[in-house]
Amino acid sequence: MTMRDFAAGEFIDVIEWIDDTNDTLVWRFERPRNEIKNGAQLIVRPGQAAVFVEQGDVADVFIPGRHQLTTLNLPVLSRLRGWKYGFESPFKADVLFVNTKQFVNRKWGTTNPVIIRDPELGPTRVRAHGTYALRVHDPAQFVRDIVGTTSVFLIDQIADQLRDLVIAKVSEGLASTQVPVIELASKYSELSALVMQHTGPQFQQYGLELTQLVIENVSLPDEVEAAIDQRSRLNIIGGLDRYAALQSADALRDAARNSNGSAAAGIGLGMGAAMGQRAAAATAGIQPTPSPAASSPSDEPPPVPKSASAWYYIVGGERRGPVDIASLGDLTRAGTLAAGMLVWTHGMSEWAAASSVPDLAGLFVTKGA
């Protein structure tokens, strides 16, 4: 090997970066003891940019493609080095490859609740989370202001700062919105666009571009969600009075099912029965039979027979039974049992108006109809 061949081996003639990672923003081309020769080939792949740095000063920037390094396409570096008429000898310069592809699915979420003033709920604490995407928009500025002399710069090294910028603007947007919390889900796109508009300039100061921001969810504290659910249930049922009546009817049903119930299970039974009767009659569309207030039974309710023919019914706020269907027919003809009165038997999930139970409906059919 001649001295010329040995010297030629010390010179770099191909400069390129094959990125096999998913998180590298900048990679510095390694050239231990080697110099870049005149006419060397620079290969910049799609989604990359190559930045030449001369003694701390950002010089030339190359876009994707194959470039031959000469004075003509290294104007800034030529000026910095004082090459007025071209160069023939090898030279040294730092070459940094910048990843310009989009980095997507970056997570963000509010660390602490954001207090907003809801038009209906008043001051309310909410949390929000979502994703954002970014890319390097100005490679030279990013290298100059952020990377510096770092050989490998990963996106996680700046992720916390970027996430804080997003969260701050999302919090501002939530606090300033006048949209009720229950309608926020329909405004996620508008709120995301507003946050991007205010966050974009802060990304640009680093040479970055915020390409997408998504608000996935705005959540309320558990106790507030429970209160909203309760309010919705009341609206569906038809008001607080009806809600209390249905709860009383549920209590009667549970007490009748409990064959080993204590005497305490009968406390308030008379009042609850009257309320349950009104609720069930309203559900069946039948005007209930008025009943006077009745005192609570002092003894324990009798055990519920397992036979399907054992029926219970409520008259005047008192639970009576068990009786069979034939006895119920006698009570109906005597006018003791009306169509809107509550009945229950083993296998029914709820107390129901007598005329709404298929097995008893025939007792209330008017003869000759």
pLDDT at 367: 52
Split at pLDDT 50, 70, 90, the class of 169 is: very high
pTM: 0.60
User: Helices (DSSP H) in 63-205: which residue ranges?
Assistant: 75-81, 139-142, 156-176, 188-204
Overall average pLDDT of the 4-22 stretch: 73
Region for residue 267 given its phi and psi (left: phi exceeds 0; alpha: psi -120 to 50; beta: otherwise): beta
Overall average pLDDT of the 36-63 stretch: 93
Q: Which of 29-38, 172-181, 239-248 has the highest mean pLDDT?
A: 172-181
pLDDT at 266: 44
Which SS3 state, helix, strand or coil, does residue 368 take? coil
Overall average pLDDT of the 328-332 stretch: 90
pLDDT at 118: 86
Contact of 153 with 30, CB cutoff 8 Å: no
Torsion of CA 167, 168, 169, 173, to 10 degrees: 90
Res. 283: pLDDT tops 50: no
What are the pLDDT digits (tens) for 98-125? 999 999 999 999 989 999 888 888 889 9
The single-letter DSSP state of residue 91 is B
**Could you count the other beta carbons within 10 Å of the beta carbon of residue 106?**
18
What are the pLDDT digits (tens) for 195-251? 999 999 999 999 999 999 999 999 998 888 887 777 777 676 665 555 566 666 666
Measured distance CA(97)–CA(17) in Å, rounded: 7
pLDDT at 78: 87
Measured distance CA(130)–CA(199) in Å, rounded: 15
Mean pLDDT of the chain: 80
What are the pLDDT digits (tens) for 126-152? 999 999 999 999 999 999 999 988 899
The single-letter DSSP state of residue 355 is G
CA 184 to chain centre: 12
